[in-house]
């Protein structure tokens, strides 16, 4: 299946939602001129569609293979990786001090979206490296930065993130990997990590593992965790005592090696402390916050690719029998139910793209503009982007399979691969259940609730500013209702202290869904307003702009009411969840 990068759509969202022109006025981002943005999206789009996408299906079929401690990627991956680094794509968003191009994270995210649509399994290699770069830029000593950052940023080396152990998944504080101080100032790491993405491979000469471990006298829980850098190849060229002892057979992303990593089998795994002792979780969160937005983007990317496939199939497949009789030969795209599926995919994909780009641009504003309000918005939105967008990635790629009918369930069309690939995104990088708890337990309460209040006030104002009539006027009541329900739910959520905490936890996941739908609907309204202005000014592609207005209306009428209806489920509490005793559930 081919992939066509949605460049016009990406440009529109970058301009209207991320406000890239304003970002480009911030110190350090001056290079992000409209011409450069256009060129980057076009050239990255060629790499994605021409090089990465053709490897997606064969990569899924062949998968990564482990033999004698060596992991081999499917044919073509190493050459494609070389094209990626030769083109300078690895360095887009990184700091110029170590060879990065210093462009906004949101622009790098748009490129990452294209690569992920083209080949999600492959794009994980770049995503994990990016996370390692972020952590080292923020927390590593100048010496470690000098040795490792330049080569990570150029893409010559790749990076990994090692948290998970068999007994420590969501509960990272339960990890047991140990770090012993060594006389030369380094540490010796001993432990086994599981599920490590791109933990071993043959596309780069060195792999920089960031590993969470405990010092001998560390307190239990997350406070006792420190972060270490363990390279596969040490600075003197010798191999470090770290190896891949297994790779997983799994539902999707077959070309992404998911490795069991043994650190220190022979007692000689050299690690270097990143940041302070005991501050590992803080450093890891730097990495995870970017990674969570990027994982959200995986939902966007897979939904986009699945939509493109489903649309092409629906325009071609003829099934005549019509509702209400008649035997004319019609393509399935003419059936209302198929249109419903396609419009749901299109509208929701555009909503989650806007959410992810808004989130990434808020990170840029927070960093480059030292903007505290933007930092608060970025923090608030990150669990929503991660969880809502990845849930939609699964639901929309499942809908794509439905559009294909039986041809979607069999493997040869590629629709099934998108669904299989999409399924991991709600699980890793903090499960979506954990994201929901993060939203209600930490993010809503930050700075006394200032960030959700500011966001809801912005939405309320934009609803008020909509003209009373016409297409835009029709959007207002839907968004108004969803926002009112979300506000009520938020007040309920934040008022539940003490013994009501189980009720908050019980409502967290549907609450996050409400939040995602409402913010997504608002961002489509904002795009419809911009489209209306451009149409009035006679600028832009009229067909694209008119579709924006229709898409916002479709989302408002068909999807926003789901948020309104969720107020009940969100605030019902935990009672019925526990009313049947555990043994009764098994009866």
Give CA–CA dist 89/107, Å, rounded.
11
- What is the C-alpha R_g of the chain? 24
Q: Is the dihedral of CA 406, 409, 411, 416 positive or negative?
A: positive
Segments of 136-224 assigned E as strands:
158-162, 178-181, 187-197, 207-214
Q: Whose Cβ is closer to ligand FAD: residue 247's or residue 476's?
A: 247
- Out of 395, 429, 557, 575, pick the active-site residue: 429
Give CA–CA dist 489/569, Å, rounded.
10
- Member of 164, 206, 402, 474 binding ligand FAD (CB under 6 A): 164
- Member of 14, 110, 269, 424 binding ligand FAD (CB under 6 A): 424
Q: Whose Cβ is closer to ligand FAD: residue 437's or residue 439's?
A: 437
Q: Whose Cβ is closer to ligand FAD: residue 196's or residue 314's?
A: 196
Closest distance of CB 207 from ligand FAD, Å: 12
Q: Whose Cβ is closer to ligand FAD: residue 72's or residue 197's?
A: 197
- Member of 72, 129, 162, 382 binding ligand FAD (CB under 6 A): 162
161 is a site residue for ligand FAD (CB under 6 A): yes
Instruction: Give the 3-state secondary structure of residue 485.
Output: helix
Tokens standing for 378?
A: 């970025």
- Member of 23, 41, 163, 284 binding ligand FAD (CB under 6 A): 163
Give yes or no: 533 in active site. no
Q: Whose Cβ is closer to ligand FAD: residue 424's or residue 519's?
A: 424
Tokens standing for 185?
A: 């100032």
- Member of 173, 433, 502, 561 binding ligand FAD (CB under 6 A): 433
Closest distance of CB 118 from ligand FAD, Å: 19
357 is a site residue for ligand FAD (CB under 6 A): no
191 is a site residue for ligand FAD (CB under 6 A): no
Q: Whose Cβ is closer to ligand FAD: residue 317's or residue 420's?
A: 420
94 is a site residue for ligand FAD (CB under 6 A): no
197 is a site residue for ligand FAD (CB under 6 A): yes
Closest distance of CB 250 from ligand FAD, Å: 6
Number of residues that bind ligand FAD (CB under 6 A): 18
Q: Where do the H-state alpha helices sit in 336-448?
A: 336-368, 372-404, 406-409, 415-422, 432-438
Question: 197 - beta bridge partners?
Answer: 258
- Member of 333, 407, 427, 454 binding ligand FAD (CB under 6 A): 427
- Give, as ranges, the residues between 245 and 264 that touch ligand FAD (CB under 6 A): 250, 258
The separation between CA 152 and the C-alpha centre of its own chain, rounded to angstroms, equals 21
Q: Whose Cβ is closer to ligand FAD: residue 164's or residue 398's?
A: 164
Find, among 220, 218, 154, the residue nearest to 187 by Cα.
Answer: 218
- Member of 141, 147, 431, 446 binding ligand FAD (CB under 6 A): 431
**Segment lying near ligand FAD (by CB under 6 A), choices 36-44, 135-143, 189-197, 561-569:** 189-197
Give CA–CA dist 24/60, Å, rounded.
39
Long-range contacts, 404-412 (Cβ 8 Å, 24+): 404/309, 404/310, 404/313, 405/317, 407/313, 407/317
Closest CB to ligand FAD: residue number: 169
CB within 8 A of 536, min separation 6: which ones? Answer: none
Per the CB < 8 A criterion, the answer to whether 511 and 436 are in contact is yes
195 is a site residue for ligand FAD (CB under 6 A): yes
Instruction: Give the 3-state secondary structure of residue 540.
Output: coil
- Give, as ranges, the residues between 221 and 250 that touch ligand FAD (CB under 6 A): 250
* Cα dihedral 102, 104, 108, 110 in deg (nearest 10): -160
Q: What are phi and psi of 73, to 5 degrees?
A: -90, 160
Q: Whose Cβ is closer to ligand FAD: residue 153's or residue 194's?
A: 194
Question: 207 - beta bridge partners?
Answer: 158
169 is a site residue for ligand FAD (CB under 6 A): yes
Question: 226 - beta bridge partners?
Answer: 213
Instruction: Give the 3-state secondary structure of residue 88.
Output: coil
- Look up residue 464 and give its DSSP letter: H
**Segment lying near ligand FAD (by CB under 6 A), choices 158-166, 373-381, 469-477, 564-572:** 158-166
Give CA–CA dist 206/367, Å, rounded.
30
Closest distance of CB 196 from ligand FAD, Å: 5
Closest distance of CB 273 from ligand FAD, Å: 19
Closest distance of CB 172 from ligand FAD, Å: 8
Instruction: Give the 3-state secondary structure of residue 170.
Output: coil
Question: Active-site positions?
Answer: 429
Residues at the contact surface with ligand FAD, assessed by CB under 6 A: 161-164, 169-170, 195-197, 250, 258, 424, 427-428, 431, 433-434, 437
């Amino acid at each position: 299946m081919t992939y066509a990068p949605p460049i016009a759509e990406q440009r529109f969202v970058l301009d209207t939602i991320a406000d890239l022109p304003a970002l480009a006025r911030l110190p350090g981002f001056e290079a992000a001129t409209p011409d450069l943005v256009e060129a980057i999206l076009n050239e990255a789009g060629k790499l994605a569609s021409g090089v990465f996408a053709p490897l997606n299906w064969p990569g899924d079929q062949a998968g990564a293979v482990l033999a004698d401690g060596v992991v081999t990627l499917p044919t073509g991956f190493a050459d494609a990786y070389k094209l990626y680094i030769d083109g300078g794509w690895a360095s887009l968003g990184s700091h110029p001090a170590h060879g990065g191009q210093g462009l906004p994270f949101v622009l790098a995210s748009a490129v990452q979206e294209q690569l992920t649509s083209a080949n999600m399994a492959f794009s994980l290699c770049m995503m994990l490296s990016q996370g390692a770069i972020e952590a080292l830029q923020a927390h590593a000593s100048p010496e470690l930065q000098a040795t490792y950052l330049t080569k990570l940023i150029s893409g010559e080396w790749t990076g990994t993130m090692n948290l998970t152990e068999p007994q420590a998944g969501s509960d990272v504080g339960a990890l047991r990997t140990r770090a012993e101080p060594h006389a030369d100032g380094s540490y010796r790491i001993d432990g086994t990590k599981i599920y490590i993405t791109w933990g071993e491979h043959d596309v780069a000469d060195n792999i920089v593992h960031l590993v969470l471990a405990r010092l001998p006298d560390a307190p239990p829980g997350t406070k006792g965790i420190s972060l270490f850098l363990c390279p596969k190849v040490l600075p003197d060229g010798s191999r470090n005592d770290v190896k891949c002892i297994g790779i997983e057979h799994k539902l999707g992303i077959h070309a992404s090696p998911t490795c069991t990593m043994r650190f220190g089998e022979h007692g000689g795994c050299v690690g270097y402390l990143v940041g302070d002792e005991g501050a590992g979780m803080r450093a890891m969160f730097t990495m995870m916050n970017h990674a969570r937005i990027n994982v959200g983007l995986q939902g966007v990317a897979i939904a986009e690719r699945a939509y493109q496939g489903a649309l092409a199939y629906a325009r071609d497949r003829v099934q005549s029998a019509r509702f209400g009789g008649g035997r004319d030969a019609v393509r399935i795209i003419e059936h209302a139910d198929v249109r419903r599926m396609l419009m749901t995919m299109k509208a929701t994909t555009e909503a989650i793209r806007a959410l992810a780009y808004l989130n990434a641009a808020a990170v840029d504003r927070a960093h480059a503009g030292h903007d505290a309000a933007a930092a608060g918005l970025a923090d608030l939105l990150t669990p929503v982007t991660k969880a809502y967008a990845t849930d939609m990635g699964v639901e929309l790629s499942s809908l794509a399979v439905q559009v294909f009918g039986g041809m979607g369930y069999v493997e040869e069309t590629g629709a099934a691969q998108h669904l299989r690939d999409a399924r991991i995104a709600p699980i890793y990088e903090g499960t979506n259940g954990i994201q929901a708890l993060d939203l209600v337990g930490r993010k809503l309460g930050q700075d006394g609730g200032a960030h959700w209040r500011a966001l809801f006030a912005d939405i309320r104002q934009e609803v008020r500013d909509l003209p009373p009539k016409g297409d835009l006027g029709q959007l207002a009541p839907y968004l108004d209702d969803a926002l009112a329900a979300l506000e009520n739910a938020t007040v309920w959520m934040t008022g539940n202290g003490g013994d009501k905490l189980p009720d908050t936890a019980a409502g967290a996941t549907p609450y996050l869904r409400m939040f995602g739908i409402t913010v997504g609907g608002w961002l489509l309204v904002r795009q419809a307003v911009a489209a209306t202005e451009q149409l009035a000014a006679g600028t832009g592609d009229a067909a694209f702009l008119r579709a924006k207005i229709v898409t916002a209306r479709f989302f408002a009428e068909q999807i926003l009411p789901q948020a309104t209806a969720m107020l009940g489920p969100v605030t019902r509490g935990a009672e019925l969840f526990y009313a049947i005793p555990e043994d009764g559930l098994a009866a």
